[in-house]
């Protein structure tokens, strides 16, 4: 019979596509570890990511709308979960390794900054050589938290950004699922915010996808599955990709770049700039000069929106002297009567 893990590995060999990445054929980890008797290698990667501190902080990092009061706007965490759901659906349909797909999807944004792409853009301007969240995500899992993940998972996290070439089909799935997720949920959030309406979307896209958001998402997913079946290349049909790209370009023009959603970005840019300046100066008397920038980048990129705001307040906003609370006052009275 063997262990549960060995049974799962046999099922992978029997049931997964020839293009799937089998967990027992992994290129391995940086530090060898004893095999788990229950979980496969990629299941362990998924679990390590879920239990990481960086993953927990995603719930307080912005997706598009900065510091929203409405609980229904996406955060970096809910975006990550939606990417995972879409990617798993595609991988299951194509008989790819769902565990590897899920691990990559859950880890792909671990290195993202506070304040969404605004925060990333500011750090990219401040840091010599630039800042890219996919590279920082790899740094999180390899250095900062040292999760000791499989090479296939790390590659997928790194290559989820567009323009990079993943080594596995599962990573290709996540790369596409990331784009599908943010285009659709950003449309949904923008409609919720009153910035756009469904009728504002390009007419040709409405005709192709229909005006139903669920049907639009389903069509994108189904197009990937139908075109990519029995193929090592995961992609949409050219027609669907053209309309998806048109939607993305329209969102950049009408939401991502110049819209009420961006009005607060100057403030958040100031916060990131001031924190960067303060900590680079602060560390000059504490660590070697060549290490300062990397430490500051690791610290700021790991912050949640609220933590960054609170650190800015601590450093630059005067706070009133706090009055004694009632418990402190009553102890003072007790001393008077002793």
Segment 56-71, tens digit of pLDDT: 999 999 888 775 567 8
R_g over Cα of the chain: 23
Q: What is the pLDDT along the chain (338 residues), one digit of tens a residue?
A: 799 999 999 999 999 999 999 999 999 999 999 999 999 999 999 999 999 999 999 999 988 877 556 788 899 999 999 999 999 999 999 999 999 999 999 999 999 999 998 999 999 999 999 999 999 999 999 999 999 999 999 999 999 999 999 999 999 999 999 999 999 999 999 999 889 999 999 999 999 998 888 999 999 999 999 999 999 999 999 999 999 999 999 998 988 876 666 677 889 999 999 999 999 999 998 889 899 999 999 999 999 999 999 999 999 998 776 655 556 665 665 566 65
- DSSP per residue, 210-252: -S-HHHHHHHHHHHHHHHHTT-S-----HHHHHHHHHHHHHHI
pTM above 0.75, yes or no: yes
Fold of 4-264: Hypothetical protein af1432 (1.10.3210)
Indicate the domain borders of the chain. Answer: 4-264, 266-336
- Residue pair 144/298 in contact (Cβ under 8 Å)? The answer is yes
- Residue pair 234/173 in contact (Cβ under 8 Å)? The answer is yes
- DSSP per residue, 170-221: HHHHHHHHHHHHHHHHHHHHHHHTTS--GGGS-HHHHHHH-S-HHHHHHHHH
Orientation angle between helical segments 41-50 and 98-107, nearest 10 degrees = 30
Q: Which two tokens stand for residue 201?
A: 């979307």
Report pLDDT for 332.
61
* 39 φ/ψ angles, rounded to the nearest 5 degrees: -105, 150
pLDDT tens-place string over residues 161-220: 999 999 999 999 999 999 999 999 999 999 998 899 999 999 999 999 988 889 999 999
Report pLDDT for 148.
98
């Amino acid at each position: 019979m063997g262990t549960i893990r060995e049974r799962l590995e046999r099922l992978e060999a029997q049931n997964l596509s020839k293009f799937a990445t089998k967990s027992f054929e992994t290129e391995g980890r940086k530090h060898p570890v004893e095999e788990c008797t229950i979980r496969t290698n990629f299941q362990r990667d998924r679990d390590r990511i879920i239990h990481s501190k960086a993953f927990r902080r995603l719930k307080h990092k912005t997706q598009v709308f900065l510091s929203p009061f409405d609980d229904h706007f996406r955060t970096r965490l809910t975006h990550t979960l939606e990417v995972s759901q879409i990617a798993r659906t595609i991988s299951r349909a194509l008989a790819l390794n769902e565990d590897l797909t899920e691990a990559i999807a859950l880890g792909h944004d671990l290195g993202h900054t506070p304040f969404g792409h605004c925060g990333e853009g500011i750090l990219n301007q401040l840091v010599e050589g630039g800042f890219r969240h996919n590279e920082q995500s790899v740094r999180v899992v390899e250095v900062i938290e040292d999760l000791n993940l499989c090479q296939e998972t790390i590659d997928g996290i790194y290559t989820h950004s567009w323009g990079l070439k993943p080594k596995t089909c599962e990573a290709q799935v996540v790369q596409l699922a990331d784009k599908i997720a943010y285009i659709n949920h950003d449309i949904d959030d923008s409609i919720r915010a009153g910035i756009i309406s469904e009728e504002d979307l390009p007419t040709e896209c409405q005709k192709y996808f229909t005006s139903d958001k669920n049907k639009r998402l389903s069509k994108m997913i189904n197009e990937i599955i139908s075109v990519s079946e029995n193929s090592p290349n995961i992609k949409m049909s050219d027609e669907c990709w053209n309309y998806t790209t048109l939607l993305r370009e329209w969102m950049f023009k009408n939401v991502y770049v110049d819209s009420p959603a961006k009005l607060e970005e100057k403030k958040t840019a100031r916060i990131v700039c001031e924190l960067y300046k303060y900590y680079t100066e602060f560390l000059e008397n504490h660590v070697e000069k060549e290490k300062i920038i990397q430490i500051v980048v690791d610290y700021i990129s790991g912050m949640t929106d609220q933590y960054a705001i609170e650190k800015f307040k601590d450093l630059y906003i005067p706070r009133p002297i706090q009055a004694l609370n009632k418990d402190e006052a009553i102890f003072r009275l007790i001393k008077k009567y002793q």
